Amino acid sequence: MSIQRFSGNFTQQEPICDNAIEAAVEVLKSGRIHRYNTEKYKFSEASLLEEEFAKWQQSSYCLACASGGYAMSITLKAAGLKKDEVVLTNAFTLAPVPGAIVNAGGQPIFIEVCEDLVIDLDDLDKKAKSTKARFLLLSHMRGHIVDMDKLQIIVEANKLILIEDCAHTMGAKWGDRKSGNFGLAACFSTQTYKHINSGEGGLISSNDAEFMARAIILSGSYMHYEKHGAAPDANTFSHIRLETPNFSGRMDNLRAAILRPQIPNLNSNIQRWNKRYTIIDNKLSTINEITIPTRPQKEHYVGSSYQFLIKGITTEFAYRFIKANKELGVELKWFGDDEPVAFTSNHKSWLYIDTQPLPTTDNILSCLFDIRIPLTFSTQDCEHIAEIIGECAQQISLKGAD
């Protein structure tokens, strides 16, 4: 192959912006790293982050906590999940999602994925009825948003409590409405590979006062709930504060200080991601061997990663395809591997959950590939990457022709 090797790094994020570094240094100098260690009347960085994120997300309340997975697990608890109760969720998602359900005492029941990488609404309706589930933890996996209008009809018809996993949709919209504003609550991650970066961290948004009061106490607020920036009023806590256990998982001021200055940059970063996404998309749409999930008109996504299918690819050819890309410097992730690799695993390797037949999902995952698009990649880098993927897809299909 004449094509040049790509030398960029798929895990290299942009540096934390200077004002965030300065804010972090201030926190360190103050010694007040714990979120409730505030001078009298002064709101902490964690509390200010909650206020600013709630405003940005257009939600009444926000809680900052330890991770996205932790956020989902206390969200389920605060929403009233009972021991061994069923939680419906996407079969195509990341391991912290079933993990959070199990951590909260629930039992995940997986819903099939569609070729467009969103939850299968027919399977959802069917399983909502057969299990009589009360909860749907909807994972907008890799930023693909299902038709939320149709979803809402199923949610209402089956009286489901909707919780959104927005780890990949911070800043995305369905129509005019922000992803995360469709159900009881939404959970976000501020882990390094998501849309804002504090290494680890989680955010919960909601408009429901009692839910949020329970989540705040669960997160480990002790009796400091009045020091929260975007919390319901003290009355809401009067009983909840004594009835709710402390599952210690707070966010500290250091991480909050790093995150606050990143919020105003989110919108411009979304544009930068989408510019890169579009370049890759334009190129790969011209490759016959590659199928690209269609995205609905109403979806305003954040293109921080890219997914495509090579339909009918066998395991052997999938390995060859990955290897060929790797030799040219492109790191692909493949959800169809029998062996879970790095961040990527699928329902077959979650042995702590009873086996569930998911033939459509298995079929789709077997031919689904995924790349990250870090903002350190230039637009030329994205052209280069797409060229390599396209070339490898054509080569593989030539070899695999029968």
Ligand X SMILES: *Cc1c(COP(=O)(O)O)cnc(C)c1O
- CA nearest neighbour of 34 among 222, 212, 214, 233: 222
CB atoms within 10 A of CB 214: 23
304 binds ligand X (CB under 6 A): no
**Rg of the chain taking only CA atoms, in angstroms:** 22
The DSSP code sequence of 199-215 is SS-EEEEES-HHHHHHH
For 349-395, the DSSP string reads G-TTS-----HHHHHHHTTEEEEE--TTS-HHHHHHHHHHHHHHHHH
Q: Binding to ligand X by residue 93, rule CB under 6 A?
A: yes
Question: How many residues make contact with ligand X (CB under 6 A)?
Answer: 15
Rule CB under 6 A: say whether 346 interacts with ligand X: no
What would the x/- binding string for ligand X be over residues 40 to 59, using CB under 6 A? --------------------
Interface pick for ligand X out of 47, 158, 189, 346 (rule CB under 6 A): 189
Residue 204 or 393 with smaller CB distance to ligand X = 204
Rounded Cα gap, residues 222 and 292, in angstroms = 49
The distance of closest approach from Cβ of residue 148 to ligand X in the complex, given in angstroms and rounded to an integer, is 17
* Strand order through the sheet with 368-372: 305-309, 368-372, 333-334
3-state DSSP assignment of residue 301: coil
**Residue of the chain from 75, 169, 191, 361 that contacts ligand X (CB under 6 A):** 191
Q: Which stretch binds ligand X (CB under 6 A): 93-101, 104-112, 251-259, 266-274?
A: 93-101
Contact residue for ligand X among 47, 59, 67, 205 (CB under 6 A):
67
Whether 286 and 390 have beta carbons less than 8 Å apart is answered as yes
User: Concatenated DSSP letters for 35-65?
Assistant: TT---TTPPPHHHHHHHHHHHHHT-SEEEEE
Q: How far is the CB of 189 from ligand X (least distance, A)?
A: 3
Nearer to ligand X, 168 or 272 (CB): 168
Q: Which of residues 198-257 bind ligand X (CB under 6 A)?
A: 202
String marking each residue 133-172 x if it binds ligand X according to CB under 6 A = ------x-x-----------------------x-xx----
Residues in the chain: 402
Strand partners, 206: 61, 185
Query: Is the distance from CB of 163 to CB of 187 less than 8 angstroms?
Result: yes
As a whole number of angstroms, the distance between CA 274 and CA 151 comes to 25
Which of the residues 96 through 135 are near ligand X (CB under 6 A)?
96-97
Interface stretch with ligand X, choices 65-73, 79-87, 327-335, 348-356 (CB under 6 A): 65-73
| Nearest residue to ligand X on Cβ basis | 68
Does residue number 90 form part of the binding site for ligand X (CB under 6 A)?
Answer: no
Name the minimum Å distance from CB 234 to ligand X: 30
The answer to whether 68 contacts ligand X (rule: CB under 6 A) is yes
Smallest gap, in angstroms, from Cβ of residue 394 to ligand X? 30
Nearer to ligand X among residue 69 and residue 336 (C-beta):
69
Helix (H, G, I), strand (E, B) or coil at 300: strand
Give the type of residue at 162: L
Candidate segments 18-26, 90-98, 238-246, 327-335, binder of ligand X by CB under 6 A? 90-98
Q: Which residue in 27, 50, 61, 69 binds ligand X (CB under 6 A)?
A: 69
The token duo for 241 is 């504060």
* Cβ neighbour number for residue 215 with a 10 Å cutoff: 28
Pick from 64, 87, 94, 117 the residue near ligand X by CB under 6 A: 94
Sign of the alpha-carbon dihedral angle for 168, 174, 164, 86? negative
* Nearer CB in complex with ligand X: 227/347: 347
Q: Which is nearer to ligand X, 54 or 166 (CB)?
A: 166
Helix axes 68-78, 209-218, angle to 10 degrees: 120
Residue ranges that bind ligand X, judged by CB under 6 A: 67-69, 93-94, 96-97, 139, 141, 165, 167-168, 189, 191, 202
